[in-house]
Structure 1
Amino acid sequence: MEKRKTLYGLLACIIILFILYALVTNFIIDPGAKAFLNRKIGLKRELNLLVWINVMHVHIVFACIAMATGLLNFSNRIFNKSRKFHRINGYVYLVSVLLVVITSGYMAPYATGGKITSMGFNVLNMIWLLTTIMALVQIKKKRIIRHQNWMIRSYAFCFTNLLIHLITFLFHQGFGLVYATSYIIGVYGSIVLLLVIPSFIIRDIGQSKEG
């Protein structure tokens, strides 16, 4: 129990810092996303800059809401105090994921790296939406453990952006690959990690409950 509390506290600190970083960077330091747009070369579609930036801002806001609401719903303390809040918060998470997926779908054709990256983002979106719907289906059937497991799989995708940029940084700065190639590796590498890591977490939680 103490281990889970410590891990939850650490996760909460990381998420709070990441949300603050995302909001400050994209709404205060670089609201026009100039640094990110400079990486986009050879786009096959004409980019409507104003629309793209507005969609990106909506995407970021609801991605942050998804991270925050998902974190709250993993809190046993909050769950035990108010099941109603847990349920409402869960629906806020669901709507946030849906809006993130929709806005990501709009931005995918303009992704750095071209069509292959766009395909990767579409795969990510479909998996995230599917895992979230599965979590909803399971709780409607009163299958609590399965609901929790699917929520872990769904929530992992809140870290897509973080993982993509970490992998991209590793291959671009660490191995000297061009940015576009590193970004493609980041997208597909994150898909693999986001499918694999939750399985270990679910297995570890199951073992701790048995112990």
Structure 2
Amino acid sequence: MIEQSKSIRIGLGFVALIAILTSLYPGVFAFIPSSRGLFETKPDELLRSSWYIPIFMTHIGFGAIAILAGSTQFFDKIRIKKPSLHRNLGKIYVACVIPSGIMGLIVAFYATGKWYSKLGFILSALGWLTSTIVAFVQIRNRNIQLHRIWMMRSFAFCFAFVTFRIYLSLGEVLGLRFYNYYSYLSFLSWVPNLVFIERRIKKIKKAST
């Protein structure tokens, strides 16, 4: 077993903190009805439909719970010392990823911006669903190492909920025109996450040999 260094524990704690803060996002719609957020960029016809907003809210609602549950899965104190809690939180994570990912895949086809905006969000949803299902299958087969690796990939996609909002806010602070940068966020929100995780996975594999 590779013991987590202090810097890694601090990093995980920071990730968990901003994940918790981001998970509060759905509350904006629940408690501030006048807040339209990204709905401002959607056609009125789409917003008046009977299905779009419920699907979107299902996506971000379950996504928020997935962020909370997933952010705990890499702490050794939980994963090793409290395996029952780790398993239960993992089950919650998977149970939330499936509906959130499927709903996210649907709304991705109606993403604001260029065609590649839709493509980026579609790939993100597919990657999240696929990596989570593979991680679940691996733990069912008792392949713990592969399960951990695929869970890391899964959370890289899940963390796009966080990085998307960071980049979105950064664009506003820099005064960039919304339609000039929004489409790129569909890739920017998850590709760097995945690159970082793949490098981390490579280090873990190297240390295990």
8 Å CA contact retained: 2:29, 2:36: no
Which residue of 4, 28, 31 corresponds with 1:28? 31
8 Å CA contact retained: 2:19, 2:162: no
Query: Structure 1 residues 123-132 or 102-111, which shifts more?
Result: 102-111
Alpha-carbon RMSD across the aligned residues, in angstroms, is 2.7
1:66 equivalent in structure 2? 66
Listed one character per residue, the Cα deviations across residues 119-153 of structure 1 (whole Å, up to 9, x for unaligned) are 22111111111111221222233222221111111
Query: Secondary structure at the residue paired with 1:123?
Result: helix
How far residue 49 of structure 1 moved from its aligned partner, in angstroms, is 4.8
**CA 1:155–1:5: 2 relative to 1, 3 Å:** same
**CA 1:107–1:33: 2 relative to 1, 3 Å:** farther
2:117 equivalent in structure 1? 117
8 Å CA contact retained: 1:47, 1:110: no
Q: Quick one: higher RCO (CA 8 Å, sep 6+), 1 or 2?
A: 2
Give the unaligned 5+ runs of structure 1.
Answer: none
8 Å CA contact retained: 2:18, 2:162: no
1 CA distance for matches of 2:73 and 2:198?
A: 19
2:185 equivalent in structure 1? 186
8 Å CA contact retained: 1:113, 1:183: yes
Mapped pair 1:3 → 2:7: yes
2 CA distance for matches of 1:134 and 1:36?
A: 32
8 Å CA contact retained: 1:132, 1:150: yes
2:129 equivalent in structure 1? 129
Percent of aligned positions with the same letter in both sequences? 29
1:19 equivalent in structure 2? 23
2 CA distance for matches of 1:23 and 1:34?
A: 11
Listed one character per residue, the Cα deviations across residues 27-62 of structure 1 (whole Å, up to 9, x for unaligned) are 223x36523222235x8x744355322222222221
Give the unaligned 5+ runs of structure 2.
Answer: none
1 CA distance for matches of 2:28 and 2:21?
A: 12
How far residue 11 of structure 1 moved from its aligned partner, in angstroms, is 2.0
**CA 1:33–1:141: 2 relative to 1, 3 Å:** same
User: Given the two structures, how large is their TM-score scaled by the length of structure 1?
Assistant: 0.81
Listed one character per residue, the Cα deviations across residues 138-186 of structure 1 (whole Å, up to 9, x for unaligned) are 223322222111111101112213323333444565373x322311111
**CA 1:3–1:173: 2 relative to 1, 3 Å:** closer
**CA 1:61–1:94: 2 relative to 1, 3 Å:** same
User: Given the two structures, how large is their TM-score scaled by the length of structure 2?
Assistant: 0.82
8 Å CA contact retained: 2:70, 2:93: yes
How far residue 196 of structure 1 moved from its aligned partner, in angstroms, is 0.7
1:86 equivalent in structure 2? 86
What is the aligned length?
205
Query: Structure 1 residues 143-152 or 51-60, which shifts more?
Result: 51-60
* One-letter identity of the residue aligned with 2:37: A
8 Å CA contact retained: 2:128, 2:157: yes
1 CA distance for matches of 2:95 and 2:152?
A: 17
2:96 equivalent in structure 1? 96
1:40 equivalent in structure 2? 42
**CA 1:127–1:203: 2 relative to 1, 3 Å:** same
